[in-house]
């Protein structure tokens, strides 16, 4: 992100230690404390997760990243094929590079780059899917609809195009090493 002139400190933080208000986690997971109880009740989050949420102090902050021991095992079990509630991943989506708090806290730049780099992880990364070749990513980004689909926002179209070019170059130079490359996937 710094190569794009975006100087947010994401090293050692992104996906690892990301704090949100505990009230947001409680509202997501515990139907009795959420305005639209029918939606939350229909999701049927795992009992361990709702018990954990019940221990949170609503006025505190909680880490929704991978280094939260209460969420760690559920993260490792997540896959994109899951249907229904996604326990720790749904909690993680409260971070500012996913859905944020659906109010003031959302970062479209970090979100766009996050979605792009997830395409290069491979089956040992978070998404647990094959690495998408750069040629396929770049081809998809040529269309406005393809860029918006990847970034989930019109704001990120040009950002993700620039980020793809830079990330491909960083991979080729060895400065960026996604999970997929560690397990033998090619640069393209």
Q: Which two tokens stand for residue 167?
A: 């990330």
What's the pLDDT at 77? Answer: 67
- The total number of residues written for the chain in this structure: 188
What's the pLDDT at 11? Answer: 56
Domain boundaries defined on the chain: 2-13+107-182, 19-92
Q: Which regions in the chain score pLDDT beneath 70?
A: 1-15, 31-43, 76-80, 82-84, 100-106, 124-126, 185-187
Answer whether 110's CB lies under 8 Å from 14's CB: yes
Encode pLDDT of 20-65 as tens digits. Answer: 889 888 888 886 655 555 555 556 788 888 889 999 999 999 998 8
The dihedral through the CA atoms of 10, 13, 19, 20 has a sign that is positive
> Distance between CA 141 and CA 66 in Å, rounded?
29
Helix axes of 134-141 and 157-173: crossing angle, nearest 10 degrees? 160
Q: What angle do CA 158, 3, 187 make, to 5 degrees?
A: 80
Strand bridging mode 19-21 / 61-63: antiparallel
Report CA dihedral (121, 87, 110, 12) to the nearest 10 degrees. Answer: -70
What's the pLDDT at 31? Answer: 64
């Amino acid at each position: 992100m710094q190569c794009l002139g975006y100087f947010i400190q994401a090293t050692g933080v992104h996906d690892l230690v990301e704090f949100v208000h505990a009230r947001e986690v409680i509202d997501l997971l515990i139907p009795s404390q959420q305005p639209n109880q029918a939606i939350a009740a229909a999701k049927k989050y795992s009992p361990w997760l709702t018990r954990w949420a019940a221990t949170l102090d609503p006025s505190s902050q909680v880490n929704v990243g991978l280094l939260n021991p209460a969420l760690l095992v559920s993260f490792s079990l997540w896959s994109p094929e899951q249907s229904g509630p996604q326990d720790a991943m749904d909690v993680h989506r409260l971070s500012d590079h996913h859905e944020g708090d659906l109010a003031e806290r959302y970062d479209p730049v970090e979100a766009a780059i996050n979605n792009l780099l997830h395409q290069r992880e491979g089956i040992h990364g978070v998404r647990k899917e094959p690495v998408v070749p750069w040629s396929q990513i770049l081809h998809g980004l040529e269309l406005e609809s393809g860029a918006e689909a990847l970034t989930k926002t019109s704001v990120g179209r040009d950002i993700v195009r620039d980020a793809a070019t830079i990330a491909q170059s960083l991979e080729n130079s060895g400065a960026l090493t996604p999970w997929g490359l560690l397990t033998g996937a090619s640069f393209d």
